[in-house]
Amino acid sequence: MTVEGVLGQSFFGSPVKLHFAMHLTNYLKAVLLSSLRIHQRRGCTDNIFAFRLIIQQFERYNLPLILMFLDFIAAFDSVTRQKLWKILENDGMPLKFVELMKAYYDASVSRVRIYGEETEEFLVEFGVKQGFGIGRAIMFPWKGQVHDLYTAFTGLYICWLSIRFGTLVYQWIPEGRQAMLKRFKLWVKIGTKSFVAFFLLVGVVPFLLGLTLDLVLIVPLRIPLHQTPIYFLTQDWCLGVLYTKIICAVTMMSPDWWLRHALEQMYQNGLRNLDINFVVFKLAGPAIFWLGLTLACPYVIGHSILPYFILNEDVLGLIHRRMYPFCFSVIAIANIMYWQITQFKRLYEHIRNDR
């Protein structure tokens, strides 16, 4: 007995099925990537180590493997197709893979629609960066692909600066050429001094501080002795900026000493009255000197002096990894003892004077 014209019944509606299918697809995709040890939004180094593990597994079981690691986005956006095929051949890629990619992209044609009318077909020889606005054009050369929110705010800030500069020039025009040149020279001088101070106080000092804390605290706590630490200088600089801000806040709440007086004087002067000699020789110079000395002395001791007395490579490796924490601990203990002795002397003199 057959029944015709009757639809199948379901306990779930179409939206629920679609939502469940999307979740199932994302879950299976995540499981597949995790099984291959390849994760999204990871750096190039992580993917290279993941590919190394995949190659080792295939070699262990004597299985054939074809693996290709190529940044197609950057290549297609910057190199013409014919040049790209030659580069791949010169770099050692098998010819059949190059021919396979040629089959996908050679003789590709496209059209452009303008005011509702399509143009004639033309060959596509290289890629075109889409949505390459002001913010992305500024950040792409040194940062690569970033979130659109950052590029949007960067572009808005550049537009605001341009509008602000245009309004200032428009206000200076009635004052005459000499007044405009005088104001322009003044702001160029202020901008140059501000750039030098910004480079030293926000660039060099935080970088040295972040690298010092990375060598002294983070690497000994997080990296085992049998592994090689990899230093990311941009992350060290970002952490150094955070630590510098914390140190400045603590310094402003601490008792009177030279660093607090230097910061207060720089804040009171402002940008217009910024004394670049004071910033270089009284604030940034001492900080750079002591941070550089903190980085250089343990390295010189561990890599130049101790190898004359210790010949065992394993012991030297252990000393190299623990030299920075040891030197920092010695300096910290010495400073604490000196501070305690100074406080004890003051207390003794105070008691003696009261008598």
Residue 1 lies in a domain: no
The crossing angle, in degrees rounded to 10, of helices 233-253 and 258-269 is 100
Residues 188, 270: one domain? yes
Residues 191, 139: one domain? no
List of long-range contacts for 222-230, beta carbons under 8 Å, 24+ apart = 225/317, 225/318, 225/321, 230/45
pTM of the shown model:
0.56
Residue ending a domain, choose from 49, 69, 89: 69
Residue 109 lies in a domain: yes
Q: Give the per-residue pLDDT at 144.
A: 59
Residues 38, 171: one domain? no
Residues 117, 184: one domain? no
Residue 3 lies in a domain: no
Residues 196, 340: one domain? yes
Residue closest to 126 by CA, chosen among 170, 74, 175, 162: 74
Residues 114, 261: one domain? no
Q: Give the per-residue pLDDT at 21.
A: 60
Residue 10 lies in a domain: no
Residues 161, 289: one domain? no
Tell me the C-alpha distance between 158 and 37, whole Å.
40
Phi/psi of residue 348, nearest 5 degrees: -65, -45
Residue 4 lies in a domain: no
Residues 266, 328: one domain? yes
Q: Which structural domain range is residue 196 located in?
A: 180-354
Residues 167, 307: one domain? no
Residues 207, 274: one domain? yes
| Amino acid code (one letter) for 21 | A
Residue 5 lies in a domain: no
Question: Tokens for 341?
Answer: 């002795």
Question: 3-state SS string over the chain?
Answer: CCCCCCCCCCCCCHHHHHHHHHHHHHHHHHHHHHHCCCCCCCCHHHHHHHHHHHHHHHHHCCCCCCCCCCCHHHHHHHCCHHHHHHHHHHCCCCHHHHHHHHHHHCCCEECCEECCEECCCEECCCCCCCCCCHHHHHHHHHHCCCCHHHHHHHHHHHHHHHHHHHHHHHHHHHHCHHHHHHHHHHHHHHHHHHHHHHHHHHHHHHHHHHHHHHHHHHHHHHCCCCCCCCCCHHHHHHHHHHHHHHHHHHHHHCCCCHHHHHHHHHHHHCCCCCCHHHHHHHHHHHHHHHHHHHHHHHHHHHHHHHHHCCCCHHHHHHHHHHHHHHHHHHHHHHHHHHHHHHHHHHHHHHHHHHC
Residues 332, 192: one domain? yes
Q: Give the per-residue pLDDT at 333.
A: 92
Q: Are 260 and 251 in contact (CB under 8 A)?
A: yes
Residue 237 lies in a domain: yes
The total of structural domains in the chain comes to 4
Residues 156, 48: one domain? no
Residue 7 lies in a domain: no
- Local confidence pLDDT in tens for the 355 residues of the chain: 444 444 444 444 455 555 556 656 665 555 545 555 555 555 555 666 677 777 777 787 787 776 665 555 555 555 566 777 777 777 777 787 778 777 766 667 777 777 778 878 877 665 555 455 676 677 666 665 666 777 788 888 888 888 988 888 888 788 888 888 888 888 888 889 889 999 999 999 999 999 999 888 888 888 887 777 888 888 889 889 998 989 888 888 887 778 888 888 888 888 778 888 888 888 888 899 989 998 998 888 888 888 888 888 888 888 888 888 888 888 889 989 998 898 888 888 888 887 6
